[in-house]
């Protein structure tokens, strides 16, 4: 009886066994990477805003404090988006006839807020409060990156749970003295390990168990 | 000594009846898939099973669209049909593994002609079982990160201290090993089918799946080792899988669940239910396909005896359950027993259970019932129902009245609970029918080893090749041993 399969079928079978494992492994690796990619998280992506507001200019060049615009960051869950009136504090005098700022003046005239595109969008099932993070010594730049270097703001981190929980597990690695919270240039290496632990106690940061309890963030 | 062994062998009833040689065994089993016209009753049976399986499709679609609220389970009975049916199906699978692994290691010859479809039964039962907890998650496409530890974007692992996660590992290991065991056992037979198939598509498919098996001595040598290793791995699974399933209950504190004897109780119940299902499948099968030579009355009697033994362990467990309720001196445990047996709303379920699982099995003490396929079939069906009732009693009567009377509530299944359960039965039989049609239902090469010709005593020169009944084609493509 003639052989039904050619001799090469043996090699095809062997190769397919190895290939199957390699393909499955590759597919798994690709999956774990795609799940963290900016395609899904929106990380590093700039958005077209109604007015091309530059944080680099206002914070970096002019030295305006974060809280001048995001005024509720120390007291409420939301950091607060400034009303057009805040812009007009200066821009009624500065560049008051600039074409570039016409949407701002229009908003002021018509009493209609500017529709900014949201950059940092946490899902609704995650309870997040700015004030507690600021109060415990988490700096703006720890999560938002060096805003003073961003002509157009983008999301510096993934905002995925593994990123949140990394800090909730070991907050001492990420905190800074309360006086430095709004300092954009503060470096993590400015403190030694012991100083950080001391700071954790001083800022009364709760235990790892409490910070990583499900209902701390999912209420 | 040798005389004694021979006497023992002679006293054993033959495992293959009729006048068979190697060739006729291959013909008889292989022809079901290859030569014989698909019998009319196959189409009827497959058609019914397939239609019933559509109930499952309908339920799953509705469930995914509307959520698990379509089921009747709600607090305090948070687990109901989904877990009852899961445990029921998983238990049924256990007989297949017991037959294929433990009986192999114990050198029980009677496993040979029933192991193939018992293993298929295991696989299909595990497939039905796995559907229930997966769909109980409501969003099975997200279940991967709830159930499996992998580097997910949440930075957390499943709760390793929970028996539910042990269950995921137990069941997925069980499914993998059962599939491998079944498939490895099939390879020599698939090669037989490949060589006998006339249709070139079948030849191709059987050829692909037989992985170039040529039956050389080296192939057999490796095959025997692989099969024995898989049997070794499967053996602890017979005990571990259902033990872990029982932990889902016994690790919790609910009265009626929190008992240390649950693992052996569940394992015995699983084997009991599994043998009942094997009997339900093989009694009609051997008649419809004329397999009485291979699945002899002796096989049925042996299975009946296993059922009797495991059934008695289960009955003992029922007695112990009641005893523990009393002996615990815990008012909740005692109340649970009264509630379950007498004063509760589901008391009749308990007595139905005792009737099905405890009483019916006593008939098997008598030779008359044990030797009658009709009675065995009937008792098996009753036992299958009884084992389902057992899980209902354990799960629902424990949950519906637990510690706080203020949170007591009744449970009643909805239409979708029933359609899902009945749908999986349809799905199971659909797979069984496809298996019967396309694969050898009995292990051809292993049955050959039971023939007298496979156990020739005497000098090789006396050996008459004609008893083999097959023509040998010598294979020259096999490379020499290195």
pLDDT in tens, A158-212: 999 999 999 999 999 999 999 999 999 888 888 888 999 999 999 999 999 999 9
pLDDT in tens, A94-145: 998 899 999 999 999 999 999 999 999 999 999 999 999 999 999 999 999 9
**At CB < 8 Å, which residues of chain A contact B?**
1, 3-5, 7, 9-10, 13, 28, 32, 35-36, 158, 160-166
Is there a contact between A1 and B195 if contact means CB atoms under 8 Å apart?
Answer: yes
Q: Do A65 and A153 share a domain, yes or no?
A: yes
In a domain, B4, yes or no: no
B interface test, pick of A1, A2, A3, A4 with most B CB neighbours within 10 Å: A4
Pairwise CA distance, residues A21 & A12, whole Å: 14
In a domain, A154, yes or no: yes
So what's the pLDDT on residue B469? 54
B416 touches B70 (CB < 8 A) = yes
Residue B302, classified by CB atoms within 10 Å of its CB into exposed (0-12), middle (13-18) or buried (19+), is buried
B interface test, pick of A1, A5, A157 with most B CB neighbours within 10 Å: A5
So what's the pLDDT on residue A102? 92
Q: Do A62 and A90 share a domain, yes or no?
A: no
Is there a contact between B153 and A3 if contact means CB atoms under 8 Å apart?
Answer: no
B365-401 burial, b at 16+ Cβ within 10 Å, e below that, comes to eeeebbebbebbbbbbbbbbbbbbbbbbbbbbbbbbb
pLDDT in tens, A53-89: 999 999 999 999 999 999 999 999 999 999 999 999 9
Selecting from A5, A10, A162 the residue whose C-beta is nearest the C-beta of B155 gives A162
In a domain, B25, yes or no: yes
The nearest alpha carbon in chain B to A161 belongs to B154
- For chain A, how many structural domains are there in total? 3
Instruction: With a cut of 80, say whether residue A1 has pLDDT above it.
Output: no
A interface test, pick of B149, B152, B153 with most A CB neighbours within 10 Å: B153
Q: At what angle do helices B297-327 and B262-288 cross, to 10 degrees?
A: 160
Q: Do A22 and A89 share a domain, yes or no?
A: no
The nearest alpha carbon in chain B to A40 belongs to B153
Is there a contact between B211 and A160 if contact means CB atoms under 8 Å apart?
Answer: no
Can you name the residues that pair with B74 across neighbouring β-strands?
Answer: B77
The reported pTM is 0.84
Pairwise CA distance, residues A69 & A80, whole Å: 8
Is there a contact between B154 and A160 if contact means CB atoms under 8 Å apart?
Answer: yes
In a domain, B343, yes or no: yes
In a domain, B32, yes or no: yes
Pairwise CA distance, residues B302 & B371, whole Å: 10
Selecting from A10, A36, A163 the residue whose C-beta is nearest the C-beta of B212 gives A10
The nearest alpha carbon in chain B to A162 belongs to B155
What CATH number does the domain containing B135 carry? 1.20.1630.10
Q: Which residues from B are below 8 Å from A9, CB to CB?
A: 212
Pairwise CA distance, residues B395 & B79, whole Å: 7
Q: Is B162 left (phi over 0), alpha (psi -120 to 50) or beta?
A: beta
Q: Do A26 and A100 share a domain, yes or no?
A: no
So what's the pLDDT on residue B460? 54
Smallest CA–CA distance, residue A101 to chain B, in Å, is: 41
Three-class DSSP category at B477: coil
Q: Do A61 and A156 share a domain, yes or no?
A: yes
Q: Do A187 and A147 share a domain, yes or no?
A: yes
Q: Do A21 and A108 share a domain, yes or no?
A: no
So what's the pLDDT on residue B474? 47
Smallest CA–CA distance, residue A210 to chain B, in Å, is: 15
So what's the pLDDT on residue B5? 63
Is there a contact between A13 and B150 if contact means CB atoms under 8 Å apart?
Answer: no
Cβ-Cβ contacts under 8 Å between A and B: the total is 39
B360 touches B386 (CB < 8 A) = yes
Q: Which residues from A are below 8 Å from B203, CB to CB?
A: 4
Residue B54, classified by CB atoms within 10 Å of its CB into exposed (0-12), middle (13-18) or buried (19+), is middle
In a domain, A191, yes or no: yes
In a domain, A45, yes or no: no
Q: Which residues from A are below 8 Å from B154, CB to CB?
A: 160-162, 165
pLDDT in tens, A28-44: 999 999 999 999 999 99
Two tokens, residue B273: 């239910």
Q: Do A178 and A111 share a domain, yes or no?
A: no
Pairwise CA distance, residues B246 & B391, whole Å: 11
B350 touches B393 (CB < 8 A) = yes
Q: Do A154 and A62 share a domain, yes or no?
A: yes
- Which residues constitute the domain of residue A174? 55-81+119-217
Is there a contact between B203 and A4 if contact means CB atoms under 8 Å apart?
Answer: yes
In a domain, B150, yes or no: no
The nearest alpha carbon in chain A to B203 belongs to A4
In a domain, B416, yes or no: no
In a domain, A14, yes or no: yes
Place of tokens 């030295």: A63
- Which residues constitute the domain of residue B450? 13-145+157-401+427-454
Pairwise CA distance, residues B169 & B158, whole Å: 12
Place of tokens 């905190």: A175
- For chain B, how many structural domains are there in total? 1
The nearest alpha carbon in chain A to B214 belongs to A3
Pairwise CA distance, residues B482 & B479, whole Å: 8
Q: Do A133 and A191 share a domain, yes or no?
A: yes
Q: What is the pLDDT along chain B (482 residues), one digit of tens a residue?
A: 556 666 666 666 667 776 777 777 777 777 777 777 788 888 999 999 999 999 999 999 999 999 999 999 888 898 999 999 999 999 998 888 888 888 888 877 788 888 888 889 999 999 999 999 999 988 888 877 778 888 888 888 888 999 989 999 999 999 999 899 899 989 998 888 888 888 888 888 888 888 888 888 898 899 989 988 998 888 888 889 999 999 999 998 888 898 888 999 999 999 999 999 999 998 998 888 878 878 888 888 888 999 999 999 999 999 999 998 889 888 999 999 999 998 989 999 999 999 999 999 999 999 899 888 899 999 999 999 999 999 999 999 999 888 888 989 999 999 999 999 999 999 999 999 999 888 888 888 877 777 766 665 555 555 555 555 555 554 444 444 43
Selecting from B153, B195, B477 the residue whose C-beta is nearest the C-beta of A161 gives B153
Q: Which residues from B are below 8 Å from A25, CB to CB?
A: none
ipTM: 0.79
Is there a contact between B154 and A162 if contact means CB atoms under 8 Å apart?
Answer: yes
Q: At what angle do helices B373-400 and B262-288 cross, to 10 degrees?
A: 150
Smallest CA–CA distance, residue A15 to chain B, in Å, is: 12
Smallest CA–CA distance, residue B132 to chain A, in Å, is: 26
Q: Which residues from B are below 8 Å from A218, CB to CB?
A: none
CA angle B21, B24, B28 (to 5 degrees): 140
In a domain, A60, yes or no: yes
Q: Which residues from B are below 8 Å from A32, CB to CB?
A: 150-151
Two tokens, residue B217: 């001595």
Pairwise CA distance, residues B263 & B260, whole Å: 7
Q: Which residues from B are below 8 Å from A35, CB to CB?
A: 152-153
Smallest CA–CA distance, residue B328 to chain A, in Å, is: 35
Pairwise CA distance, residues A96 & A116, whole Å: 21
In a domain, B406, yes or no: no
Which residues, 6 or more positions from B437, have their beta carbon under 8 angstroms from its beta carbon?
B33, B38, B42, B46
So what's the pLDDT on residue A2? 63
Q: Do A93 and A127 share a domain, yes or no?
A: no
**At CB < 8 Å, which residues of chain B contact A?**
150-156, 194-195, 203-204, 207, 211-212, 473, 477
Q: Which residues from B are below 8 Å from A7, CB to CB?
A: 477
Query: What is the CB-side half-sphere exposure of residue A134 using CA atoms within 13 A?
Result: 19
Q: Do A208 and A101 share a domain, yes or no?
A: no
């Amino acid at each position: 009886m003639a052989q039904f399969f050619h001799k090469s079928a043996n090699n095809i079978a062997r190769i397919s066994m190895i290939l199957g494992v390699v393909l499955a492994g590759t597919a798994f690796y690709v999956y774990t990477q795609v799940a963290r990619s900016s395609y899904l998280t929106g990380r590093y992506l700039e958005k077209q805003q109604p007015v091309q507001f530059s944080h680099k200019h206002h914070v970096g060049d002019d030295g305006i404090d974060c809280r001048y615009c995001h005024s509720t960051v120390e007291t409420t869950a939301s950091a607060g988006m400034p009303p057009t009136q805040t812009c007009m504090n200066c821009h009624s005098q500065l560049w008051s006839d600039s074409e570039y700022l016409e949407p701002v003046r229009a908003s002021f005239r018509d009493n209609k807020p500017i529709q900014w595109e949201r950059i940092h969008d946490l899902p609704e099932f995650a309870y997040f409060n700015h004030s507690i993070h600021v109060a415990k010594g988490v700096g703006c730049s720890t999560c938002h990156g060096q805003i003073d270097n961003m002509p157009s703001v983008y999301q510096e981190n993934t905002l995925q749970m593994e990123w949140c929980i990394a800090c909730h597990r070991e907050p001492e690695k990420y905190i800074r003295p309360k006086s430095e919270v709004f300092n954009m240039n503060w470096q993590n290496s400015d403190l030694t390990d012991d100083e950080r632990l001391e700071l954790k106690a001083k800022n009364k940061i709760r235990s790892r168990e409490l910070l990583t309890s499900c209902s701390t963030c999912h209420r | 000594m040798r005389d004694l062994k021979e006497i023992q062998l002679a006293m054993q009833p033959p495992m293959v009846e009729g006048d068979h040689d190697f060739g006729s065994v291959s013909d008889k089993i292989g022809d079901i898939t290859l030569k014989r016209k698909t019998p009319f009753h196959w189409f009827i049976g497959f058609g019914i099973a397939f239609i019933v399986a559509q109930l499952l499709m309908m339920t799953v679609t509705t469930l995914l669209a509307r959520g698990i609220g379509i089921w009747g389970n709600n607090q305090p009975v948070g687990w109901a049909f989904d877990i009852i049916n899961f445990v029921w199906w998983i238990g049924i699978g256990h007989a297949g593994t017991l037959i294929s692994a433990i009986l192999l290691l114990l050198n029980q010859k009677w496993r040979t002609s029933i192991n193939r479809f018992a293993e298929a039964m295991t696989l299909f039962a595990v497939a039905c079982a796995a559907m229930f907890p997966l769909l109980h998650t409501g969003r099975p496409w997200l279940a991967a990160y709830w159930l499996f530890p992998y580097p997910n974007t949440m930075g957390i692992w499943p709760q390793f201290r929970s028996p539910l996660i042990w269950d995921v590992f137990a069941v997925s290991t069980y499914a993998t090993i059962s599939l491998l065991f079944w498939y490895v056992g099939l390879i020599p037979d698939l090669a037989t089918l490949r060589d006998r198939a006339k249709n070139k598509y079948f030849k191709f498919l059987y050829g692909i799946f037989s992985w170039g098996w040529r039956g050389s001595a080296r192939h057999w040598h490796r095959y025997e080792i692989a099969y024995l290793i898989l049997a070794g791995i499967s053996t602890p699974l017979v005990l571990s899988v259902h033990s872990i399933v029982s932990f889902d209950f016994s690790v919790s504190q609910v009265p009626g669940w929190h008992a240390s004897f649950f693992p052996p109780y569940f394992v015995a119940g699983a084997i009991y239910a599994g043998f009942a299902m094997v009997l339900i499948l093989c009694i009609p099968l051997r008649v419809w396909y004329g397999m009485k030579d291979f699945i002899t009355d002796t096989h049925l009697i042996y299975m009946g005896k296993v059922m009797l033994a495991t059934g008695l362990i289960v009955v003992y467990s029922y007695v112990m359950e009641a005893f523990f309720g009393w002996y615990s001196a815990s008012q909740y445990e005692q109340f649970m027993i009264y509630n379950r047996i007498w004063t509760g709303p589901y008391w009749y379920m308990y007595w139905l259970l005792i009737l099905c699982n405890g009483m019916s099995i006593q008939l098997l003490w008598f030779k008359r019932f044990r030797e009658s396929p009709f009675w065995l079939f009937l008792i098996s069906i009753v036992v299958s129902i009884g084992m389902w009732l057992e899980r209902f009693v354990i799960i629902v009567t424990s949950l519906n009245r637990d510690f706080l009377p203020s949170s007591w509530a009744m449970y009643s299944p909805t239409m979708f609970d029933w359609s899902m359960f009945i749908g999986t039965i349809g799905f199971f039989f659909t797979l069984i029918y496809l298996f019967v049609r396309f694969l050898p239902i009995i292990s051809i090469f292993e049955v050959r080893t039971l023939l007298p010709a496979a156990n020739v005593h005497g000098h090789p020169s006396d050996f008459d090749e004609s008893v083999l009944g097959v023509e040998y084609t010598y294979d020259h493509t096999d490379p020499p041993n290195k």
